Chains A and B, each alone.
Chain A
Amino acid sequence: MSSFDSVPTQHEGDLIGTVAGPGEGPNEFLIVTPDEQAVKTGEFITYTVSVEGTDRDVIARVTNREQERGLPDTFMADPNVAPETVAATLGVPTDDIDLYRLEATVIGFYDTRMQTFSNPRQLLGREPDFTPRLTGCSKPSCRILASTRTRPPTRQEISP
């Protein structure tokens, strides 16, 4: 299907989070996002990775969503009192403090030659200069990611 040949990489979507590290499975990775509504379990997200010199939109699906940071449960002891009210009394800021940890499974990018989704893990594994590109980041987390080869590098922009 040649119609997929012209599929460009998509950067129009809103940024929803940052890769925090590898997940439990080989095709899974974790994202931290401040947005509590934009991405739910089951929805698709993309990140861009270079495959054989071409930028590809890799699609992943959110498989789990947990609250990473938020107001403590003790603030919710009385259903008649909003936890934000308790937080305001204590001078705790309530705007943009919620953080969520998403777990996503890599589906792959659409390979026009194979006419199916390809996991960049299999392709990138054969590419000799793949690891140096991922380890361009000096942070330890990047080295961890480089060893997995299937996850996007840290600070990668994630779009829905």
Chain B
Amino acid sequence: MSTPSTGESVDDCLAIGSIVNSNDHMDYTVEIFNETDRERPPEPDECGFGQPVFVRKTVDGDEYAVMGVIYNTQLVDPDQGRSGPRLAQSDQKQFTPGYVEERTTLAGVALLGTARITEDGSIESPNHKIPRWTLSVDDIVLNCPDGVTRTFHTGEQGSLQLAYMERLLDIAGSLGAEVTLALIERLQDLFSSEEHQRVLSVLERDVRWQSSVDRGVMR
């Protein structure tokens, strides 16, 4: 069982997958690595729902971390519905190389913003606006350590910052409230001061209430 990283450096972070597709400028599909891709594939809790992730991107000589969060997952099994006779036996994987390993897990990643990576591997100048650059197919998506997540959500003078929240609720669609609440819960563990806890509590109640109203549970 792995232990989630609590460091504040983006170096040596666990690679959890690679980008295979995008649905729009802020919404990417990531194929999660398995045993055939990496010696150390991510554990389920390292690439689960609500997990902050990032992609390293160099622009004009400066390296940035494009931050995101996993807001959805999907299992893909090409063999589903192909239960007819096959040429290969069940232990002869070499005869069906194109099929056997194509079972995979896809994850939807919504981008949250960017931050500049410093020489020591930490991040600075977190920005919750839409990144101007697009990511590329095969870009490696990395597990974001808690320390980096905390820095990304820290504004000027130590204030809490979640300026992407409205956009995330929109991008994540039907799971927008849940992924936002998952992030808030994570931040409640990372920001211990009473002031930050109170602000996060107000945001949590707001998201829960709005979600209940939107789903017709409350009026």
Q: Is the CB of A78 within 8 A of B198?
A: yes
A1 an interface residue at 8 Å Cβ cutoff? Answer: no
Give the complex CA separation of A102 and B199 in angstroms: 33
Q: Inside 8 A of B166's CB, which chain A residues have their CB?
A: 90
CB neighbors of B among A72-114 (8 A): 74-75, 77-78, 80-81, 85-86, 88-91
Please count the residue pairs between chain A and chain B whose beta carbons lie under 8 angstroms apart in the complex: 43
Known: A74-B206, A77-B206, A86-B203. A91 touches B163 (CB 8 A): yes
Docked-complex contact B162 and A75, CB < 8 angstroms: no
Q: Tally A residues with Cβ within 8 Å of B.
A: 12
Q: Is the CB of B199 within 8 A of A86?
A: yes
Q: How far is the CB of B112 from chain A (nearest CB, A)?
A: 12
How many chain B residues have a CB neighbour from A under 8 Å? 20
Given A77-B202, A89-B160, A90-B165, 19 further pairs, Cβ under 8 A: A74-B202, A74-B206, A74-B209, A74-B210, A75-B206, A77-B205, A78-B198, A81-B195, A81-B198, A81-B199, A81-B202, A85-B159, A86-B199, A86-B202, A86-B203, A88-B155, A88-B159, A89-B155, A90-B166
User: Can you identify 7 A-B contacts, CB atoms within 8 angstroms?
Assistant: A74-B202, A75-B202, A88-B159, A89-B155, A89-B160, A89-B161, A90-B203
